[in-house]
């Protein structure tokens, strides 16, 4: 269903958007030493009620009314588990949610990252009022993309302009290559 | 050249754009623009909604059509993802299902440019599974 991590990220971030978040932070941390690949998605949305939090990784839990079963979090959990990792959720009603997925860095079943640059840029362009931060750390270094900084440079011009989007995508890809991210 | 791009390089892109923007007519009035909303729920994402959204943004730019492309959450049409909602200026929104890049191209050339209908329209009062 989800072919790569970027697709999962696109989907999990939708939960944050639905929860009314104004700041959404996606972090990836690769550790060769521990052989782990850590994905963290943090938002300042409305949070998940305590009685619901243990249940949301169960495919039969959703607060949506258009479909009876939830899907996004269980799919991510299944993927993380299959690589020897895990999925954890931390949330406080009224202040936000953190989704922490751990994968085995070199595990055969870990899907590739995919088009993370395009995903972050598209999210930013389609949700102009939300601040998105993307951080990626590898043994070779660290890269950070923050739409607040982009908007400061753009001085009123929109991130959603096609040429701005093209540029940002290339910029992120080049910087990720510099820190030698894993596929 | 050979340098890794940084945000400082955005200035050039911005200046080029400013030149073009002053030539655009409708940019101050979103009501007069074509509006597209792509459904970005789990079902949509799994079936290629991102590619479809990128296609619209790129092609509107290339074909010089002023449009606003945004996303929505689940519209409830799991069976027909990816789905999009197209609103032409002054008209009621129309929902199209099973949109791949080929269908998207048809929608731009026929519906957006000439108002001709293309296959795959979902009646907006279609019963979503919730109502059954
Ligand atoms: N970041 C979040 N903030 C608030 N609620 C959330 C968040 N992530 C998930 N939820 C809750 O968990 C439910 C299940 O999420 P998910 O597995 O993605 O399925 P779906 O989004 O299709 O309902 C959501 O319906 C929502 O109620
Ligand atoms: S749940 Fe399938 S499209 Fe919304
Ligand atoms: Mg979801």
Asked, for residue B130, whether it belongs to a domain, the answer is: no
Asked, for residue B14, whether it belongs to a domain, the answer is: no
Confidence (pLDDT) at A140: 97
Residues with CB under 6 A from ligand 2: A 66-67; B 41, 43-44, 74, 76-78, 81
Asked, for residue A183, whether it belongs to a domain, the answer is: no
Q: Which chain A residue shows the shortest CA-CA distance from B70?
A: A126
Q: Which two tokens stand for residue B86?
A: 């197209």
Confidence (pLDDT) at B69: 96
Asked, for residue B102, whether it belongs to a domain, the answer is: yes
Q: What share of chain A is helix, strand, coil (3-state, %, to 5)?
A: 35, 25, 40
Asked, for residue A63, whether it belongs to a domain, the answer is: yes
With beta carbons less than 8 A apart as the criterion, state whether A62 and A11 touch.
no
How far away, in angstroms, is A24 Cα from ligand 1 center?
A: 15
Report the C-alpha gap between A147 and A145 in whole angstroms.
7
With beta carbons less than 8 A apart as the criterion, state whether A140 and A123 touch.
no
Residue A68 burial by CB count (10 A; 0-12/13-18/19+): exposed, middle or buried? exposed
Report H helices in B1-132: 10-21, 42-46, 49-62, 101-106, 113-114
Per-residue pLDDT tens digits for B14-42: 998 888 877 676 555 667 899 999 999 89
Q: Looking at this predicted complex, what is its ipTM?
A: 0.91
Confidence band for B131, pLDDT divided at 50, 70 and 90? very low
Residue ranges making up the domain that contains A122: 5-178
At A60, which CATH number? Answer: 3.30.565.10
Of B11, B57, B74, the CB nearest to A165: B57
Q: What angle do CA A57, A60, A65 make, to 5 degrees?
A: 110
- The overall average pLDDT reported for chain B is 87
Q: Which two tokens stand for residue A122?
A: 């598209």
* pLDDT beyond 60 at B88: yes
pTM, full prediction: 0.93
| Among the ranges given (A177-181, B25-29, B103-107, B119-123), the one the predictor scored with the smallest mean pLDDT | B25-29
Confidence (pLDDT) at B74: 84
Residue ranges making up the domain that contains B62: 29-114
Q: How many domains does chain A have?
A: 1
Residue A145's alpha-carbon distances to A54, A169, A172, in angstroms, are 32, 11, 7
Residues of chain A in contact with residue B78, where contact means CB-CB under 8 angstroms, are 67
At B38, which CATH number? Answer: 3.40.30.10
Report the C-alpha gap between B122 and A139 in whole angstroms.
50
Provide the chain A residues 93-112 that lie in CB contact (below 8 A) with chain B. none
pLDDT along chain A (183 residues), means of 10: 94 97 98 97 96 80 62 91 96 96 97 98 97 98 98 94 97 98 94
What one-character DSSP code corresponds to residue B33?
Answer: S
Asked, for residue B10, whether it belongs to a domain, the answer is: no
Asked, for residue A167, whether it belongs to a domain, the answer is: yes
Q: How many domains does chain B have?
A: 1
Report the C-alpha gap between B84 and B75 in whole angstroms.
9
Provide the chain A residues 5-44 that lie in CB contact (below 8 A) with chain B. 7, 10-11, 14, 17-18
Residue A50 burial by CB count (10 A; 0-12/13-18/19+): exposed, middle or buried? exposed
Q: Please name every residue paired with B96 in a beta bridge, in sequence order, or none if there are none.
A: B84, B121
Asked, for residue B1, whether it belongs to a domain, the answer is: no
């Amino acid at each position: 269903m989800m072919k790569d991590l970027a697709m999962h990220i696109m989907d999990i971030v939708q939960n944050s958007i639905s929860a009314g978040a104004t700041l959404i932070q996606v972090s990836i941390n690769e550790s060769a030493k521990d052989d782990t690949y850590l994905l963290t998605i943090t938002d300042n949305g409305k949070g998940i009620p305590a009685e619901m939090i243990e249940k949301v990784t169960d495919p039969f839990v959703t607060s949506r009314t258009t479909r009876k079963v939830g899907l996004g979090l269980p799919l991510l959990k299944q993927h993380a588990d299959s690589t020897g990792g895990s999925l954890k959720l931390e949330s406080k009603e009224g202040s936000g949610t953190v989704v922490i997925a751990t994968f085995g860095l070199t595990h055969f079943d870990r899907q590739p990252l995919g088009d993370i640059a395009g995903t972050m840029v598209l999210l930013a362009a389609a949700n102009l009022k939300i601040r998105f931060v993307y951080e990626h750390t590898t043994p070779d270094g660290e890269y950070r993309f923050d739409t607040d900084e982009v908007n400061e440079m753009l001085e009123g011009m929109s991130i959603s302009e096609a040429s701005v989007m093209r540029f940002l995508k290339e910029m992120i890809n080049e910087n990720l290559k510099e820190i030698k991210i894993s596929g | 050249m050979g340098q890794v791009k940084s945000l400082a390089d955005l200035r050039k892109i911005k200046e080029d754009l400013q030149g073009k923007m002053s030539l655009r007519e409708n940019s101050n009035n979103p009501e007069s623009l074509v509006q597209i909303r792509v459904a970005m729920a789990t079902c949509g994402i799994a079936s290629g909604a991102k590619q479809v959204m990128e296609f619209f943004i790129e092609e509107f730019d290339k074909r010089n059509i002023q449009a606003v492309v945004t996303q929505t959450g689940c519209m409830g049409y799991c069976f027909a993802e990816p789905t999009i909602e197209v609103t032409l200026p002054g008209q009621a929104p129309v929902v199209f299902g099973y949109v791949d890049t080929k269908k998207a191209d048809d929608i731009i050339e026929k519906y957006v440019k000439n108002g001709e209908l293309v296959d795959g329209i979902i009646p907006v009062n279609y019963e979503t599974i919730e109502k059954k």
